[in-house]
Amino acid sequence: MNLTLTLPIFVTILLAVVIGGCNCKIVQFIFGDSLSDVGNNNFLSKSLARANLPWYGIDFGNGLPNGRFCNGRTVADIIGDEMGLPRPPAYLNQSLTEDVILENGVNFASGGGGILKETGGLFIQRFSLFKQIELFQGTQDLIREKIGTKEAAKFFQQARYVVALGSNDFINNYLMPVYRDSWTHTDKSFIQYLMDTLRSQLTMLHSLGARELMVFGLGPMGCIPLQRVLSTDGQCQDKTNQLALAFNKATDELVVELANTLPNASYKFGDAYDVVNDVITNPGNYGFSNSDSPCCSFGKIRPAITCNPASTLCSDRSKYVFWDEYHPSDRANQLIAKELIKKLGFLNPNQTNIASSPTPTTDPSSDDDGR
């Protein structure tokens, strides 16, 4: 063996491992519900909240269902694209590895999930925010084993975090008399219960390294098609909207408090209530022709809880604010995302050119899922 040649090579490799560590990208970790789910619930065999049938995903990639409760992209997809960040695959995606996490981050969002553990129980299987954080802790263990404790801490602290839950805590909990919370709380005490729980969750995420974090507010959920069709006159349900506004106000105050008290925390609140309300009230101003019924439905048979192959699609999906009874369309999501980007002044943390994505594109995991 020629020691003169091999020794420098060995030292170089050793130094690269010890000193260089992981030259990691800035990625996203997303915690949320069906507005952000990119396929987790499709792997929960007993869940009643899954987007695994046509016509979900019709305007995304190959047009097949991919787990998004939309015809195209989620708000988090679009914001990440504008920031130049990779789209994180679903936690339960079978192609997820440590290398994929380091390159793309992870999406833990689960349809039907809420801030509270009891929320969405009628869906049988879903991940609450507490469960999503628990899964994130397991992800951290894997990355520490892969790149070491010091580099892992750096990786998680420079990542971007999105927390987008709350609507199910009202629509699939407090506003349904089958849930205990609906008859043990007043509006005020329930929102306080949510804030106390969310405070502990956001504080827990900070202890796990989350420094750059955005919490999404709620839109006028009393105006989603499901709420309208359940009303007596087909109009928006004002009580539900007032709850959304109260939640947003309390969450904004909580996020400001945590940003001022948690060390090195850059926590922000993203509120798009006003613009969404204006789109619903004045759809023509934004190029929409319908803001009160879903594009994918059973026609006059309402509510159609989910979109499926027997559903009828509207003739022009870009003209509808809502895709199904619960969720906005791709084009509506684009308007919401642009409003949040404008308000919060997002920049590209990886210092690459930011390009707008006017049409849906394939995410890293959609082809591997076989859906």
Residues known to be catalytic: 34, 324, 327
The residue assigned the tokens 């969310």 is 198
Q: How crowded is residue 337: how many other Cβ atoms within 10 Å of its Cβ?
A: 24
The 3-state DSSP class for residue 114 equals coil
Rounded CA separation 304/311 (Å): 9
Rounded CA separation 62/64 (Å): 6
Rounded CA separation 87/365 (Å): 9
SS3 labels along 221-266 = HHHCHHHHHCCCCCCCCHHHHHHHHHHHHHHHHHHHHHHHHCCCCE
Backbone angles phi, psi at 201, to 5 degrees: -70, -45
Which residues make beta-bridge pairs with 266? 212
Rounded CA separation 174/96 (Å): 35
- Greatest alpha-carbon pair distance for the chain in Å reads 87
Token code pair at residue 15 = 């130094």
